[in-house]
Amino acid sequence: MILAVPTEVRTGECRVALVPEIVKKFVAAGIDVVVESGAGVLAAFSDAAYAEAGARIAPDAGATVGSADVVVKVNAPTAAEAAGYKDGVLVLSFLQVSQSTEALSALVSKQATAVSFDLLPRISRAQSMDALSSQSLVSGYRSGLAAAEALARFFPMFMTAAGTVPPARVLVMGVGVAGLQAIATARRLGANVLAYDVRAAAKEEAESLGAKFLDLGVSAEGAGGYARALTDEELAAQQAALAKEIAGVDVVITTAAVPGRKAPILVTTTMVESMGPGSVIVDMAADGGGNVECTVAGENVLVNHCTVIGLSNPPSGMPTHASFLYSRNVFNLLELFLEEGALAPDWTDEIVIGTTVLRDGAAANAAAAEALGVSHVPIEVPIVESPEEASAS
């Protein structure tokens, strides 16, 4: 079996899907790993390191993926990339179904099987495969550093002969993996941190890291540990309560996202304008439309006295460890699709079923079927009789 690791083509992307340490594991399992020359350079992994791990180095993308049975990527392939894959290929990446219709159409024509990390079931057994969480950890850390760098004052308190400098006040909105890491980073840097989430369950986690949790009277517990979308009435109540808090802090870090939907607007332009001189907002949801009304993805926008940072693709800013974590997630998930070095997906496994967008070109995922305008062909788990049932019949 041939497993291909092409260079990521997204502008500004520095991560790579597999690092040499994990390549070595696949090679030991009898898999032929092909890495495009330069694929890992921006993440500080050289071609020589991949070759030493047992990979073959291909000169270009065509030579990398043309004969591959499995292609692993960080970002979804483009339609042009998918056109270069062989029929029946298995593709593993962050597909983001609603944003990858053209690529999915190309994969359908290839009768490909497409597997996406963003559909991973939220169960204990899947934690080692959870690339969404591993990359969110990097994002949260990056957001805290970005805020500290952009703020026109210190994060920690300093007591000096010239006087005492009070600590910065930081508000983190959204206490998932990214938010918790943002809280931890801001606290390590010495700031006083407030945290807010529409999930009441987030209170204990935020407080365990030293943040003060804001209870604004709006709760939106959703399925699978995620927040659900707020109603218009709930959103209005939330924003009214937040306005006073935002006006009193130096930094706001927003992390709120609802899977498969545009990021919710949490901070209006009026709220931004109420913040003090030199204040900063870091919007980690910029690529999904932003949690801040005036966010521009990939840009710093000055609104009145406040700098709004649209943090685009934050894990790419720390590509070495982001790639290291992602690579381990790839290995752990692909194990469920392999047996003795060959493709043999376990179609009875809920993780395999849950992450599969296309199976041999058919839309196994309902959202993908709707986006493509084709029939939904769910994966049916065969019913196996127990010994007791078999003997009774």
pLDDT on residue 252: 97
Tell me: do 190 and 240 sit in the same domain: yes
Tell me: do 162 and 289 sit in the same domain: yes
Tell me: do 35 and 73 sit in the same domain: yes
Active site residue 226: yes
Residue 388 is assigned to a structural domain of this protein: no
Report whether pLDDT(201) > 60: yes
Confidence of residue 228 (pLDDT cuts 50, 70, 90): low
Q: Model confidence over 160-189: pLDDT tens digits? A: 899 899 999 999 999 999 999 999 999 999
Show which of 265, 284, 312 is a domain's final residue.
Answer: 312
pLDDT on residue 140: 97
Confidence of residue 383 (pLDDT cuts 50, 70, 90): low
Active site residue 359: no
Q: Which residues of 135-172 are buried (b: 16+ CB within 10 A; e: fewer)?
A: bbbbbbbbbbbbbbebbeebbeeeeeeeeeeebbbbbb
Residue whose tokens read 């994002």? 139
pLDDT on residue 218: 63
Confidence of residue 219 (pLDDT cuts 50, 70, 90): low
Tell me: do 23 and 122 sit in the same domain: yes
Confidence of residue 242 (pLDDT cuts 50, 70, 90): confident
- For a pLDDT cut of 90, what percent of the chain falls above it? 81
pLDDT on residue 226: 54
Report whether pLDDT(361) > 70: yes
Tell me: do 178 and 102 sit in the same domain: no
Q: Model confidence over 286-321: pLDDT tens digits? A: 998 999 999 999 999 999 999 999 999 999 999 999
Confidence of residue 381 (pLDDT cuts 50, 70, 90): confident
**C-alpha to C-alpha distance for 1 and 29, rounded to whole angstroms:** 10
Tell me: do 94 and 167 sit in the same domain: no
Active site residue 133: yes
Phi, psi of 218 (to 5 degrees): -120, 120
Q: Which of 162, 154, 291, 157 is nearest to 227 (CA)?
A: 291
Per DSSP, helices labelled H in 44-194 are 47-52, 61-65, 79-83, 101-109, 131-150, 177-188
Rounded (10°) angle between helices 131-150 and 319-334: 170
Type of residue numbered 280? V
Active-site choice (46, 60, 109, 127): 127
Active-site choice (130, 197, 250, 283): 130
CATH number at residue 287: 3.40.50.720
Residue 182 is assigned to a structural domain of this protein: yes
Tell me: do 367 and 264 sit in the same domain: no
On average, the pLDDT of the chain sits at 92
Report whether pLDDT(64) > 90: yes
pLDDT on residue 264: 85
Residue 389 is assigned to a structural domain of this protein: no
Show which of 312, 332, 357 is a domain's final residue.
Answer: 312
Mean pLDDT across the stretch 189-200?
91
| Least confident window among 41-50, 61-70, 76-85, 240-249 | 240-249
Residue 339 is assigned to a structural domain of this protein: yes
Q: What's the domain count of the chain? A: 2
Residue 108 is assigned to a structural domain of this protein: yes
Phi, psi of 356 (to 5 degrees): -85, 120
Q: Which domain holds residue 338?
A: 2-129+319-372
Tell me: do 26 and 101 sit in the same domain: yes
Confidence of residue 100 (pLDDT cuts 50, 70, 90): confident
Residue bearing the bigger pLDDT, 389 or 161? 161
**pTM (2 decimals)?**
0.89
Residue 392 is assigned to a structural domain of this protein: no
For 190, left (φ over 0), alpha (ψ -120 to 50), or beta? Answer: left
* Contact by Cβ (8 Å): 313, 10: yes
Report whether pLDDT(86) > 70: yes
Show which of 288, 312, 336 is a domain's final residue.
Answer: 312
Active site residue 100: no
Active-site choice (133, 134, 312, 316): 133
Residue 378 is assigned to a structural domain of this protein: no
Report whether pLDDT(217) > 80: no
Tell me: do 194 and 304 sit in the same domain: yes
Active-site choice (56, 98, 105, 226): 226
Report whether pLDDT(91) > 80: yes
Active-site choice (32, 47, 98, 122): 122
Report whether pLDDT(221) > 90: no
pLDDT on residue 384: 59
Query: DSSP string covering 86-111, please?
Result: PTT-EEEEE--GGG-HHHHHHHHHTT
Tell me: do 283 and 157 sit in the same domain: yes
Tell me: do 218 and 79 sit in the same domain: no
Residue bearing the bigger pLDDT, 210 or 392? 210
Mean pLDDT across the stretch 76-105?
93
Q: Which of 279, 263, 286 is nearest to 169 (CA)?
A: 279
Q: Which residues of 277-312 are buried (b: 16+ CB within 10 A; e: fewer)?
A: eebbbbbbbbbbbbbbebbeeeeebebeebbbbbbb
Residue 385 is assigned to a structural domain of this protein: no
- Bridge-partner residues for 227, per DSSP? 221
Report whether pLDDT(109) > 70: yes
Tell me: do 305 and 333 sit in the same domain: no
